[in-house]
Structure 1
Amino acid sequence: MPHSRWQTGSDQGLTEPEAVSEVLHEIRLAMELAAAVCNRRTELGLTQAELADRAGPTQAKISRIEGSDAVPTLPLLTKLARALDASLHITIDADDARVSFTPHTSAA
């Protein structure tokens, strides 16, 4: 069949399989975490290497986290939050996931 006649699943009236939907949800969560780490790091004016020095993993690991290619363990998330001088908040609902860092306030 020529490619001009190919149809996607949605063109054929098929719905997204549950497994694909679950994978997409996991990817979105990884992307939320990646954005939160990158945003907080840049707010502090840190390079990936400087964050790695503070938190313990390699700069390459920080790069993979910020690129959504790696999801850190809970112990590493704890180290990242400390290194970023912030509290980590992860909210997971049925259809939504949000990740954010809340900076610690410094006593004056």
Structure 2
Amino acid sequence: MNHSQWKTARTRALLGEAEQEDAEVTALRLEIRYAMALGQAVYDRRTVLGLSTGELAGRANLTEARIEAIEDGDTVPTLPLLHRLATALESQLDIHLASGRAATVRFEPSAA
């Protein structure tokens, strides 16, 4: 979910459509938390490696704008793209999802 979709859902809730929107809004908020957790994990690992967004983009064969969108939580990458990111970050991606809770996302350094 992007910011615009979130604002639309929030506006609907404020206008009294909250009852039917509650489940949708809850799901969208969870999606945002997942995207933000992934973005933070990418940022954390990239900075540990001392890479700029441009350098990571080059390693992952992506645009710098795409890396920034992932780090900002504006997009959720596909599994193949997550694999490319993990490889570019010299890491293994570890994601833990629990029902109704925020995700735990970590890029663990690959064993040498």
Task: For structure 1, list consecutive stretches of 5 or more residues without a partner in the other structure.
Answer: 1-8
TM-score normalized by the length of structure 2: 0.79
Q: Say whether residues 1:18 and 2:23 are aligned partners.
A: yes
Q: Identify the residue that residue 42 of structure 2 maps to in structure 1.
A: 37
| Distance in 1 between residues matched to 2:38 and 2:108, nearest whole Å | 13
Equivalent AA in structure 1 for residue 109 of structure 2: P
Match of 1:74 among 64, 72, 79: 79
Equivalent AA in structure 2 for residue 18 of structure 1: A
SS of the residue 1:57 aligns to? coil
TM-score normalized by the length of structure 1: 0.81
Q: Identify the residue that residue 51 of structure 1 maps to in structure 2.
A: 56
The CA deviation at 1:105 is 3.0
Give the aligned length.
96
Q: Say whether residues 1:104 and 2:102 are aligned partners.
A: no
Q: Identify the residue that residue 27 of structure 1 maps to in structure 2.
A: 32
SS of the residue 1:21 aligns to? helix
SS of the residue 1:25 aligns to? helix
Q: Identify the residue that residue 93 of structure 1 maps to in structure 2.
A: 98
Judge which range, 82-91 or 93-102, deviates more.
Answer: 93-102
Which structure 2 residues correspond to residues 58-69 of structure 1 after superposition, within 5 A? Answer: 58-69=63-74
| Distance in 1 between residues matched to 2:84 and 2:45, nearest whole Å | 14
Post-superposition Cα deviations, 1:12-53, rounded to whole Å, max 9, x if no partner, equal xx7781111110000000000000000000000000000000
Equivalent AA in structure 2 for residue 99 of structure 1: V
Structure ID, larger Rg: 1
Which stretches of structure 1, 4 residues or longer, exceed 2 Å deviation after superposition? none
| Distance in 2 between residues matched to 1:24 and 1:93, nearest whole Å | 15
Task: For structure 2, list consecutive stretches of 5 or more residues without a partner in the other structure.
Answer: 1-12
